[in-house]
Amino acid sequence: MEWKTTIGTDLDQAASWLRQGELVAIPTETVYGLAGNALDEQAVVKIFETKERPLYNPLIIHVAHAEQARSLVLDWDDQVQALMDAFWPGPLTLLLERSPAVPDLVCAGLSRVALRMPDHPLTLDLIKRCDFPLAAPSANLFGRISPTTAAHVFSQLNHRIPYILDGGPCRVGVESTIVGKEANEWKIYRAGGVTRAELEPIIGKVKKVNPADRPDAPGMLPWHYAPRTPLTLGGSAENPADRIGWLRFSSLGPGIPGERQFVLAPDGDLHTAARRLYAGLHELDALGLDQLIAEPVPNKGIGRAINDRLKRAAATRQG
């Protein structure tokens, strides 16, 4: 189906498409999502098709209130409740044993479902109007740079979906942190908007899953978030004539013209860097250069999530 894609803020329109089983791009505080009715297998299939995402990579379900989350899972304990109280709505995704209400396809047949309550008023309102939860991966084509503005979504999904709900630029800028419990131990499967230091006061010790040990773990495909221009992590350019672009942390680097550099956080704040990360990658990619270099950011707090994305964006693509 080829659509004339509209960008707007009309919640009735967005809800109406979703009720008809079609897809709508939605704003969240992390990145834009490509949403469909999570309980409608046909809509879920469309998400995978539209995004060109392999079926083995499961989707996060977005809810607007705690009751909606409860209906989708089997286990619920004080720690889960404490995490929800502390971080929802917000950039934390919980992996919990799923109830039969969740279609297999959403979870790629796995026993757990990923749930989160996004912190964006338009999207919370939209989910309430629909009365069903929304399955939504990031609204980029598979493996490509995640969108943090409606324009980013349009550039990748124009003609593929009927509607993009415009909620402005995303406040956090990197995806949610994914946590779950295995053998009674809390684990971070994907670093993101909520840091380990914020989690540990609530649930005690949290381990980071090493993607190399767990190829089946979420958010763990080695290449991901990638610009089309080849990107390396670290390094510098000596020759200004080289067609190289540079993603910098807090200041311009030497040797490359300023217009081919993107400074993530002129104020040196990692939250600013997170918010501008994908916009920087989109912008440098659009220059059509031969090569991009990304300077790693300080590896603390949300900086870990940024470096994680940069590492994946730099990984060699297979196919």
Q: State the amino acid at position 164 in one-letter form.
A: I
Please identify which residue in 18, 24, 31, 226 interacts with ligand TXA, judged by CB under 6 A: 31
| Cα distance between residue 296 and residue 237, in whole Å | 15
Q: Per CB under 6 A, which of residues 247..306 are in contact with ligand TXA? A: none
Please identify which residue in 28, 50, 195, 307 interacts with ligand TXA, judged by CB under 6 A: 28
- How near is the Cβ of 113 to Mg ion at its closest, in Å? 17
| Cα distance between residue 115 and residue 250, in whole Å | 34
Determine which helix (DSSP H) or strand (DSSP E) holds 95, and give its type and residue range. strand 92-97
Determine which helix (DSSP H) or strand (DSSP E) holds 75, and give its type and residue range. none
> Which does residue 112 touch among Mg ion, ligand TXA, none (CB within 5 to 8 A, set by kind)?
ligand TXA
Is 136 near ligand TXA (CB under 6 A)? yes
For 212-290, list the strands marked E by DSSP.
231-233, 244-248, 261-263
> Which does residue 103 touch among Mg ion, ligand TXA, none (CB within 5 to 8 A, set by kind)?
none
Is 30 near ligand TXA (CB under 6 A)? yes
Helix orientation angle between 11-19 and 121-130, rounded to the nearest 10 degrees: 40
Q: Which stretch binds ligand TXA (CB under 6 A): 25-33, 275-283, 290-298, 306-314?
A: 25-33
Is 93 near Mg ion (CB under 5 A)? no
**Nearer Cβ to ligand TXA (25/284):** 25
Is 138 near Mg ion (CB under 5 A)? yes
The Cα-based distances of 102 to 71, 73, 237, 247, 253 in angstroms read 9, 8, 50, 40, 49
| Cα distance between residue 230 and residue 207, in whole Å | 32
> Which does residue 270 touch among ligand TXA, Mg ion, none (CB within 5 to 8 A, set by kind)?
none
Contact set with ligand TXA (CB under 6 A): 28, 30-31, 33, 57-60, 91, 93, 95, 107, 110, 112-114, 118, 136-138, 175-176, 178, 218-219
